[in-house]
């Protein structure tokens, strides 16, 4: 029964949390959205400096919220990959220092494993095998989760991540940053079938299309062309109809591939992770398609979908309970495939 304190600083949230196996004892997040909003996106150097300023407060508040002190903590974890290197280094240095000072084991965690573990916080009885659709600002993957924490990526985007596509389309519709929530909101007033937009299919060399991979950059360009055409022809841009049509296309694309993958692999449980899991259209499409094929879908609550440290602590507790800890000379990695996770632990 491991009690783990984890730190997450891979992008623009400074977060710390304490989890006892799959039970959240505290969860603190300091969002940097306000600091990046004026630039229309995350500025890596600004992110690192903001993390440095808030990290100590966030860790202290995680302990205070849980009503625990260091003697109650079994291990200290930090996200080490993938992410912004400068940002990751702040969390890693803090976690290593705390591990050394308090004499606790250290665990380096892969960010995507954290997003997958968010589903354990939602359903503590959940056990592999299951399929995870991971849709965030930086990632769009379909990952088969097997026994003992084995992961296999079966499908992914070939270019923009789903969240990135939402952010870029929101920018070109002048909806601000972050784009996902803004598009989701305005799309409610629009017609999702107003405009036919292309579903980014990936051609296979021998003919046909890849069943699980997708592409969002063509869709983003199609929205740009549509906006330019409507502006030139009518002088007006029906923002809510375009936002709704774009959102519908993303939701349909992801749902089709996820259900096909779950069917092919014979997996009856689908979990969704990452910030885009908050999207109302994706939730509706996936829920409906899953129930039509007698499958269960788990959507974690929003606070566990967007970046948080509770999911990192939960992933760390799984490793700790298997007797795995990381060497103190572990570094950070801006990119790392999820199948390389075993490299983060002692052998
Ligand atoms: O998982 P996350 O917090 O950070 C990363 O690890 O990337 O995801 C952030 C992404 C952003 O691109 C944001 O626009 C998107 O999630 N997002 C949404 C919604 N809420 C957040 N996208 C679509 N619909 C939403 N409701
Ligand atoms: Zn994330």
Dist. CA 75–CA 98, nearest whole Å: 10
The answer to the question of residue 226 being in a domain is yes
Dist. CA 257–CA 80, nearest whole Å: 29
pLDDT at 347: 67
Q: What's the gap in Å between 259 CA and the centre of ligand 2?
A: 22
Full domain range(s) for residue 66: 3-116+307-344
Shared-domain flag, residues 204 and 111: no
Shared-domain flag, residues 184 and 87: no
Domains in the chain: how many in total? 2
The answer to the question of residue 124 being in a domain is no
Dist. CA 147–CA 187, nearest whole Å: 39
Whichever domain contains 272, its CATH number is 3.30.420.40
The answer to the question of residue 329 being in a domain is yes
Q: Among the bound ligands, name the one nearest to the CA of residue 188.
A: 1
pLDDT at 81: 95
Asked whether the beta carbons of 3 and 73 are under 8 A apart, the reply is yes
Shared-domain flag, residues 300 and 311: no
pLDDT at 221: 96
DSSP classification of residue 11: S
Closest Cα to residue 143, out of 135, 153, 134? 153
The answer to the question of residue 210 being in a domain is yes
pLDDT at 126: 97
Q: What's the gap in Å between 163 CA and the centre of ligand 1?
A: 5
pLDDT at 237: 92
pLDDT at 12: 81
Question: What number does the ligand 1 atom closest to the CA of 302 have?
Answer: 20
Question: What number does the ligand 1 atom closest to the CA of 138 have?
Answer: 7
Shared-domain flag, residues 279 and 148: yes
Kindly report, residue by residue over 138-175, the tens digit of the pLDDT.
899 999 999 888 999 999 999 999 999 999 999 999 99
Q: Among the bound ligands, name the one nearest to the CA of residue 33.
A: 1
pLDDT at 341: 96
Shared-domain flag, residues 247 and 340: no
Helix, strand, coil share of the chain (percent; to 5):
50, 20, 30
Half-sphere CA count of 118, side-chain side, radius 13 A? 30
Q: What's the gap in Å between 228 CA and the centre of ligand 1?
A: 26
Whole-model pTM? 0.93
Residue 196 phi/psi, 5° resolution? -85, 120
Give burial (CB, 10 Å; 0-12/13-18/19+) of 268.
Answer: middle
Which tokens is 70 given? 């260091």
Q: Which of 274, 289, 304 is the last residue of a domain?
A: 304
Low-confidence stretches of the chain (pLDDT < 70) are 35, 347
Tokens 């270019």 sit on residue:
159
Q: What's the gap in Å between 34 CA and the centre of ligand 2?
A: 18
Shared-domain flag, residues 148 and 275: yes
Closest Cα to residue 91, out of 344, 347, 312? 312
pLDDT at 263: 98
Shared-domain flag, residues 59 and 30: yes
Binding-site residues, ligand 1, Cβ < 6 A:
11, 136-138, 163, 166-167, 178-181, 184, 274-276, 278-279, 306-307
Shared-domain flag, residues 70 and 14: yes
Dist. CA 125–CA 37, nearest whole Å: 39
Shared-domain flag, residues 138 and 66: no
The answer to the question of residue 123 being in a domain is no
Shared-domain flag, residues 294 and 326: no
Shared-domain flag, residues 42 and 174: no
Shared-domain flag, residues 207 and 252: yes
The answer to the question of residue 121 being in a domain is no
């Amino acid at each position: 029964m491991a009690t783990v304190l984890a730190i997450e600083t891979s992008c623009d949230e400074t977060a710390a949390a304490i989890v006892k196996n799959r039970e959240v004892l505290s969860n603190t997040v300091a969002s940097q959205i306000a600091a990046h909003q004026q630039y229309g996106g995350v500025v890596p150097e600004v992110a690192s400096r903001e993390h440095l300023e808030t990290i100590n407060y966030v860790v202290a508040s995680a302990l205070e919220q849980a009503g625990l002190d260091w003697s109650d903590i079994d291990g200290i974890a930090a996200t080490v990959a993938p992410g912004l290197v400068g940002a990751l280094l702040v969390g890693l240095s803090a976690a290593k220092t705390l591990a050394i000072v308090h004499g606790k084991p250290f665990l380096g965690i892969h960010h995507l494993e954290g997003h997958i573990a968010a589903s354990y916080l939602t359903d503590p009885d959940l056990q592999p095998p299951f399929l995870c659709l991971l849709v965030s600002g930086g990632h769009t993957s379909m990952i088969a989760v097997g026994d003992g924490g084995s992961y296999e990526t079966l499908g992914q985007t070939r270019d923009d991540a789903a969240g990135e596509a939402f952010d870029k389309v929101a920018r070109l519709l002048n909806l601000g940053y972050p784009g996902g929530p803004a598009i989701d909101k305005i799309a409610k007033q629009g017609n999702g079938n107003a405009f036919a937009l292309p579903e980014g299919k990936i051609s296979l060399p021998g003919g046909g299309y890849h069943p699980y991979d997708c592409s969002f950059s063509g869709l983003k360009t199609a929205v740009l062309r549509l906006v330019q055409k409507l502006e030139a022809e009518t002088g007006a841009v029906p923002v809510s109809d375009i936002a709704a049509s774009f959102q519908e296309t993303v939701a349909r694309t992801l749902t089709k591939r996820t259900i096909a993958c779950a069917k092919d692999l014979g997996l009856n449980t689908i979990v969704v992770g990452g910030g885009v899991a908050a999207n109302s259209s994706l939730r509706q499409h996936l829920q409906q398609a899953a129930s039509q094929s007698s499958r269960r879908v788990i959507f974690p609550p929003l606070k566990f979908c967007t970046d948080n440290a509770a999911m990192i602590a939960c992933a760390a507790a799984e490793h700790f309970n298997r007797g795995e800890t990381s060497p103190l000379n572990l570094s950070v990695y801006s990119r790392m495939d999820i199948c390389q996770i075993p490299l983060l632990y002692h052998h």
